[in-house]
Amino acid sequence: MIKTYPLLKSLMINFRFLFFLFIFIWLFACNQQTEKKDWDYPFQNPALSVDKRIDDLIGRLTLEEKASLMLYNSPAIEHLGIPAYNWWNECLHGVARAGEATVFPQAIGLAATFDDELIFRVADAISDEARAKHHLAVKKGNRSQYSGLSFWTPNINIFRDPRWGRGQETYGEDPYLTSLIGVAFVKGLQGNDPKYLKASACAKHYVVHSGPEILRHRFNALPSERDFRETYLPGFEALVKAGVESVMCAYNRTYDKPCCGSSYLLDTILKKEWGFTGHIVSDCWALDDIWARHKLVTDKVQATAMAAKAGVNLNCGYLYKYLPAAVDSGLIDESLVEKDLKPLLRTRFKLGLFDPEEMVPFSKIPADVVDSDIHRKLALETATKAVVLLKNRNNILPINPDTLSTMLVVGPTAADITTLLGNYNGFSKKMVTILEGIIGRAGIGTTVEYNQGFMFHNDTIMTGFWQANRADATVVCIGINSLFEGEQGDAMLNPDGGDRMKIELPANQIEYVKKMRKKINDKPLIVVVTGGSAIALGEVADLADAILFAWYPGEEGGNAVADIIFGNVSPSGRLPVTFYKSTVDLPPFEDYNMDGRTYKYFNGEPLYPFGYGLSYSDFSYTKIASDRKRYSNEDTIVIVVSAKNAGDMDGEEVIQIYARNAAPGKDDPIKVFVGFKRLFLKKGESGKVELKIPVKTFARWDIEKQKYLVRPGKYFISAGKNSAEILQEVETIVE
C-alpha cells in the first residue's frame, strides 16, 4: 500500500489555513461594513475633526433645514439621522422644570456665600444631575424642552436696583463678585474634559438689562460710557474669557440698537474685542421686539435678517423660520446662514450629541446621583453659608435647645414650600420648610407650636398671640416669595409685572411684628425674612431681637435656618447687595446710570451695607500688609491679612478687600471691592489669608483713549467686615 497521507495531510492543512483566512477576511469586511454603517456620513465619524464634521453636515443640508437647526426647538433631520433637540433648558440653582432634582439656594443666595469654590461644587453637582436626567430621558424617547444639556444660566446682569423682580436670579450688585461667582458656576457646569462639554452654560442677558420688567421689551438703556464699561460689561467679559459656551442677547435696546440686532455688541465687543467663539442665543421672542415693539424694521423677515447679520446663531422663538425668505429677498446670503449655523453645531458636537453615548464620559453618571444624600448635604452647606445674620441684640442667638422648653413659630413663610424655591427651580421630594427644620432641630422634648399668624394679603386677620404667652421664644417668619417678585407674568400677586415698586415690607407684616413684640414683652423675638432682594425692614429692624435673612434657601433651607438658630453652625453669609432704608433712597428705576446706586456710588446711610453679615464669633483683624510699597501697571499686589477669633465659638469669617484712590477723579467710585477669602478659625485661634490683587483691578475706562487705564498715584487697600466697616488699611503707590 502506497503511503500518500503526508501529501494529503499537507493539502488539508493548507486548505484549513485558506478556509480560516477566508473567514477572517470575510468577518473583517463585515465588521468594516458594520462600522461604516455607524457613520454613513463623515459628520457622524468621531475620528474626524469637529470642523470637518461641521462642514460635511452643512453641505448636506437644504436652506430650510439649516434654518430649522437654528430654532431653539430644532426638529429632527430624519434623512441624515439627526434627532430633534430642544435648546431651552434651565438650571439656575439646580436642574429646573424637569421634575426631581436637588434644589440649591436661589442664585442671589449662592452669591451671599461669598464662596466661589463652593459654587463650583454646586454647579458640578448640578451638571452631574443634568447628565443623568438627560441620558435617561433619551433612552425613553423624551427629547422635550428641559431635558437637554444646553442651559440658559447664569444670569450675570448687575443687580443695580432692588426693585427688579429678577434680581434674585443674579449674583448681586458688584461686578467683581458677579464675575467670580459666575466663572465658578460656568466651570463647574461645563466640566474640564478636553473633548466634551459636560453641559453648556450661557451668560445672560447681554447687556444692560435689569428692569423694569414691564418695559423690558421696549426700553432703550443709555448708561454713561464709563458705567457701561465698568459696571455692565465686566461680568460678561470674565465669563467669555473663562470659556462660557453661549451668550444670550437681551430684549431691550442698548444705545438705540436692539441687543439682538447690534453688531457693536455682538461682533465688535463680544467677538472681536473679547474673542468669543461660542454661540449667541436670543432671549425668547426677542426678535419679535425688533419689529413689533422697538419698531426698527417693518416686518418679521427684516428683523430676521438684522439678527442674522449681527451674529445671532440661535433663535428662541420662531422668526428664524424666515431665514430662507430673507435669502430669497436678497437681504442676506445663504453663506451668512451657514456662518451663523457653524458655532451652534459646534456646541452640539462638543456636547457629544452626534457621538455614540459610550464615547461620552458623562453618559455613565448614574441615576441615583439625582438629589442624592451627598447633594443634599451640599445644598445644606450652601444654604447655611447663604443665611445672613442681620441683627443679634444681646447675643440672643444661638438658642440652646437643651434648655428650651417651648417655642412658637408663626408667619406665612414658615410652612410655605414656595418660599424655598425662588424661580427657575426644580423640585425635591424632601423639601424642608423653616417650620419643619425648627421642629427637627429643637428635639423631641421641646414643645414647638405653629400658627400661620396672618396671610400675605389680609390686614384684618392676625392670630397666634395667645400661643405666644406660653412660649420661651418666638420665631416670626415674614418676607415675600415668588408670588410677589419675579419675571414678568410669573409673580401672580404682583400688579407691577414682577417688580416691587416699593422695597418696604408689607404694612401688615410690620404691624404683626409690632403686636407680637408687645405681647411677649422681653421674651426673645427672632425674625426670619425671606426674599430675593434687599428689603427695607422699617420698624422690624428695631423691634426684633435677632433677624436672619434667608433668601429663597432651597430644599434644605429649613434645616439651615434651624442650624443657625440653635447654634449648630455660626452664620457666615454676607449681603451681595446694599440694603437701603427706604424706596426714597433710590434713583429713578428707569435710569441705567450708576450714580447713587450700590455701595460704590451711594452716599447715604444704608440699612445694611454691601458685604454685611454678623457671626456668633468675634473676629478682629490684627494686621494688613502688602509685599512692597510701589507697583507698576503689570504687577500683582500680594496682601496678607491677619485675624483672630476672640469669640466663644468656632466660625468662618469672610475677609473682604476694598480699594480706593487717594485722589479720586470725577465720577470715581467711593471704593471698589477687589478681593475676598473665607477664613475658618476655632475660638481663640489666629490665622492669616493671602490675596493677590492685580494692579489692573484699579483701572478706569478712559473715554478719550477708549481703553482701561490705571491712573498713577496713591491707593489705599483696606480689609474689613463689609464695605462700611474697614478695620485695617495699607497704602500703595502705582507708578
CA nearest 467: which of 411, 429, 527? 411
The Cα 614–Cα 86 span in angstroms is: 45
CA-CA distance, 603 to 664, in Å (whole number)? Answer: 15
Grid cell digits, residue 534: 434687599
Helix (H, G, I), strand (E, B) or coil at 89: strand
Please give the Cα distance from 688 to 681 (Å, whole number): 10
Sheet holding 686-694, edge to edge: 619-626, 636-645, 686-694
**Alpha carbon distance 570, 654 (integer Å):** 12
Pairing of strands 630-631, 525-530: unpaired
Closest to 271 (Cα-Cα) out of 292, 238, 293, 240 = 240
Gyration radius of the chain over CA positions: 30
Task: Identify whether 585 is a catalytic site residue.
Answer: no
Q: Give the three cell numbers for residue 315.
A: 433663535
Residue 352 backbone dihedrals phi, psi, to 5 degrees:
80, 20
**Residues 6+ positions from 4 with CB-CB distance below 8 Å:** none
Catalytic residue flag (residue 485): yes
- CA neighbor of 557 nearest in space, from 383, 370, 734: 383
Backbone angles phi, psi at 406, to 5 degrees: -135, 145
Four-residue CA torsion sign, 486, 489, 491, 494: positive
C-alpha cell at position 256:
438705540
Task: Report the run of H or E that residue 64 belongs to, with start and end.
Answer: helix 63-68
Torsion of CA 85, 86, 90, 96, to 10 degrees: -90
Catalytic residue chosen out of the listed positions 90, 115, 169, 283: 283
Q: How far apart are the first and last CA of the chain?
A: 112
- CA 379 to CA 371: how far, in whole Å? 10
Determine which one of 129, 174, 340, 485 is catalytic: 485
- Degrees (nearest 5) of the Cα angle 571, 573, 576? 160
The count of other CB atoms within 10 Å of the CB of residue 379 is 29
d(CA 33, CA 28): 9
Beta partners for 89? 151
Q: Which residues are marked as active site?
A: 283, 485
